[in-house]
Amino acid sequence: MPEAARCAWEVTAGLIPGQAMPEHTRRWGLTSTEWDSGRGVEKYVERGAQAQAYATYLQFLCARGLEVNWTRIDFVWF
């Protein structure tokens, strides 16, 4: 049986607003087991930072006029 998800981050980006390009979409998640492991907060901060870092990289591409024109991070807590 698959493990229960606790939360997830999804970073999307593209050229046309609202139309995400699959090659620029990445996801990070945290399972209930990881959250309850005693290191849950540490893992939560780590995964969130990874998502933020990737979004910042994509924003850099936007600023340079390369590949994408927009970027977005979605977060959900289950």
Inter-residue contact 6 to 35 (CB < 8 Å): yes
User: d(Cα 53, Cα 6) in Å, to the nearest integer?
Assistant: 21
What burial class does residue 14 get, using C-beta atoms within 10 Å of its C-beta: 0-12 exposed, 13-18 middle, 19+ buried?
A: buried
Kindly list the strands in the beta sheet with 5-14, ordered across the sheet, starting from the edge strand earlier in the chain.
Answer: 26-31, 5-14, 70-77
Residues 12-66 pLDDT 10s: 999 999 899 999 999 999 999 999 999 999 999 999 999 999 999 999 987 887 8
- pLDDT of 1 reads 67
Residues 7-18 pLDDT 10s: 999 999 999 998
